Amino acid sequence: MVKKIGLFWLKCDFRLNKNQALFEATKNHDRVVAFYLYKKKKFENQEAQKWWVAKSLEEFEIKLNYYNIKLEVIDTNSYKLFFEKLFKKKNFSIYWNKTYEPNYLKFDQYLIKNCESKKIEYKILKGNILNEPDYVKKTDGTPFKVFTPYWRNAEKSYLEKIPSKEKKVLKCKEKISFLNNKMKIKDIYPKNNWFKKFEKYWSPSEEKALKELKYFVNNKIDNYSNARNFPNIIGTSKLSPFITHGQIHVETIWEECIKSKKKNISKFLAEIGWREFNHSLINHFPHMVKGNYSKKFDKFPWEKKSEFLLAWKKGLTGYPIVDAGMRELNSTGWMHNRVRMIVGSFLVKHLLINWTEGEKYFKNSLLDYNEANNISGWQWVAGSGADAAPYFRIFNPILQGEKFDKEGEYVKKWIPELKNVPKKFIHKPWELKNDNLLKLGKEYPFPIVIHEKARIKALNAFKKI
C-alpha cells in the first residue's frame, strides 16, 4: 500500500460494481477520497439531471462511507481551475473512468499532460461502454457511419475480448478529508418544485438498476422486439437514466442477458449497440455535437414560431399522441422511444422548427439525457444525421397513434381531458364534433397545423436543400 491519498474523480459512475477507477484507488491506497465536480453552468439547462445527480450523490455518499471513502462535492466554474489548485497539493494519486464525450476526452489529454509533467500518478480507465469508440473501425481504419455493419463488428470484437472481471471496491483503512469543500448536495436540487413528481417514478441507485435489469430479463425480454413499440405498456427496460448516470455498467447488462440463456436477447442488445454507435459517431465526427452532421441541412429553411414551440413543449398541439408524449416527459423525466420519434418528427417536419430546439428541451427535461444519444436521436429524426431516417419520410401522428396506441390508453393516461372521447376519435378528436364529450378549443386545443398541409410544406422546404 502506498502512503499517498487515492483520489477518485466521480463523474457518471455511481456504482461499486465494474467501477474500475474506484476499484484501483481502493486497491492501491489506505485512504481514498472521492470528489464530484459540480459545474453550475453545465447544469443550467439540465434541470431534470440536477434531481438525478443530487439523489445519486446522497445515495452514493452513504455507500462510500461504508467503505471509509469520503465524498466531497465541489462547486466549481471551471475544471481547469480546480485541477490547477489540486496539482499544487502533490501528495495524491488520481483515478478516473473515461466519459465518452469529445469535451471530456479532450480534457483527459490536458490532465494526462499535467499529471506527467508534475509527476503525479494517475490511472485513466474504461468507462461505461462495451467497446471504446476507437476500437471498432472499418478495415481501412475509418469509422463506421452506418449502424448495421458497425454493430456486426462491435458485437464480434466485444465477444472476442475477455470482459473485465467483476471488481469490487475494497474497504479503506481510514477515512479522511482532503479537499474539504463545503458544497451541500441539497443545493444541487432544482429550485422549482417540478422535480418532486420524479420521486413517484424513480429511485436512483445501483441496487434498483440491478433489480430492474433482472426483472426485465426474466419477464420482458422475450417479447421485447414487439412490445418495445407500444407506449401504453411497459415493454422496455426503462434502464436509460441508470445507464446515463452509471448506476449500471453496460457490461453487466450484457452479461445478465447472456447468463439468462434466453433466445430473444439480440434486439435488446442491439439497442445497447445503438448507444455504442452514437458514442462512436460523436467522437469521430465531433462537429455534429454543435450542428448538423450532414452539412446540406445548414441551409434548411427552418421557421421560428415561438408559440408553436411553446405548444409543443407543453403538450398542447392538438395531436393527442404528440401531447401525451410531451406530458409524459414533463411529468416523469422520461419518454417512450416510439413517442420520442413521433414528437421529434412533429417538431421538425410539421412545425418546421430546427431540431436543435427539441434537443435543448430534451436536454433540460430528460433524466436519461446523454449527449451522444440525444444529439444522434434528434439528427436521426431530422434526417441530418449519419444513419438517419430520410427527411421525406414524415410520420403521420394520427396513424402513428392508431397503430401504436390503438385503444388510446396511453393518450388517456396523460391527457385526462380526453377521457370521454371514443376510441374511434381518440387520435383525431377534432372529428368528434360532440360538445358533451369534449369541448374542443376549451378543454383541449384544435390542431395547431393541419397534417396534410404541413406535410406538403415540409416536403417543399426539403426540396430547397
Ligand X SMILES: Cc1cc2nc3c(=O)[nH]c(=O)nc-3n(C[C@H](O)[C@H](O)[C@H](O)COP(=O)(O)OP(=O)(O)OC[C@H]3O[C@@H](n4cnc5c(N)ncnc54)[C@H](O)[C@@H]3O)c2cc1C
**147: its cell numbers:** 449502424
DSSP-assigned letter for residue 239: -
Report the residue from 275, 279, 349, 428 that binds ligand X according to the rule CB under 6 A.
275
Confirm or reject binding of residue 240 to ligand X (CB under 6 A).
yes
Query: Per CB under 6 A, does 49 bind ligand X?
Result: no
> 403-407 long-range contacts, Cβ below 8 Å, gap at least 24?
404/229, 404/230, 404/231, 404/321, 404/338, 405/230, 405/231, 405/232, 405/321, 405/324, 407/232
On whether the CB atoms of residues 361 and 333 are closer than 8 A, the answer is no
Binding residues for ligand X, rule CB under 6 A, total 27
Please select the residue that binds ligand X; options are 54, 185, 243, 321, rule is CB under 6 A: 243
> Cβ distance 380 to 433 under 8 Å?
no
Q: Which stretch binds ligand X (CB under 6 A): 30-38, 109-117, 187-195, 365-373?
A: 365-373
Among 95, 122, 362, 410, binds ligand X (CB under 6 A): 362
Residue 366 Cβ, how far from ligand X at the closest point, in Å?
Answer: 5
Q: Are 118 and 88 in contact (CB under 8 A)?
A: no
The H or E element that residue 75 is part of is strand 70-75
Q: Which three cell numbers mark 127? A: 468507462
Q: CB 375 → ligand X: shortest distance, Å?
A: 8
Residues involved in catalysis:
271, 274, 302, 337, 355, 378
Q: Is 369 in the site for ligand X (CB under 6 A)?
A: yes
91, 101 Cβ separation under 8 angstroms: no
Specify the residue, 9 or 378, whose C-beta has the smaller distance to ligand X: 378
Give the nearer residue to ligand X in terms of CB position, either 93 or 345.
Answer: 345
Told to check if 131 binds ligand X by CB under 6 A, we report no
DSSP string across 136-157 = ---TTSPPP-SHHHHHHHHHHH
The smaller minimum CB distance to ligand X, of residues 17 and 373, is found at 373
Least distance CB 383 / ligand X (angstroms): 12
Does the protein bind ligand X through residue 366 (CB under 6 A)?
Answer: yes
- Minimum Å gap between C-beta 336 and ligand X is 6
- Report the first-to-last Cα separation within the chain, whole angstroms: 63
444 forms part of the interface with ligand X (CB under 6 A): no
Helices within 162-245 (DSSP H only): 198-201, 206-219, 224-227, 240-244
Single residue of 13, 101, 323, 368 touching ligand X by CB under 6 A: 368
Q: From the CB of 174, what's the least distance to ligand X, in Å?
A: 38
Provide the minimum distance between the beta carbon of 221 and ligand X in the complex, in angstroms, as a whole number. 9
Determine which residue in the list 204, 377, 401, 447 makes contact with ligand X, applying CB under 6 A. Answer: 377
Residues 6+ apart with CB under 8 A from 370: 240, 243, 244, 275
244 binds ligand X (CB under 6 A): yes
Q: How many CB atoms lie within 10 A of CB 112?
A: 12
d(CA 205, CA 189): 17
Q: Residue 205 is placed in which grid cell?
A: 441507485
Residue ranges in 283-342 that form contacts with ligand X under rule CB under 6 A: 337, 340-341
- Give min distance, CB of 110 to ligand X, in A: 26
Closest residue to ligand X, judged by C-beta, is: 377
Q: Which of residues 413-442 bind ligand X (CB under 6 A)?
A: none
CA angle 7, 202, 12 (to 5 degrees): 25
By CB under 6 A, is residue 344 in contact with ligand X? yes
- Selected from 237, 247, 317, 400, the binder of ligand X by CB under 6 A is 237
Query: Which segment (128-136, 373-381, 411-419, 442-450) binds ligand X by CB under 6 A?
Result: 373-381
Contact present, 392 and 382 (Cβ < 8 Å): no
Task: Give the residues lining the site for ligand X (CB under 6 A).
Answer: 228, 236-240, 243-244, 271-272, 274-275, 278, 337, 340-341, 344, 362, 366, 368-370, 373-374, 377-378, 381
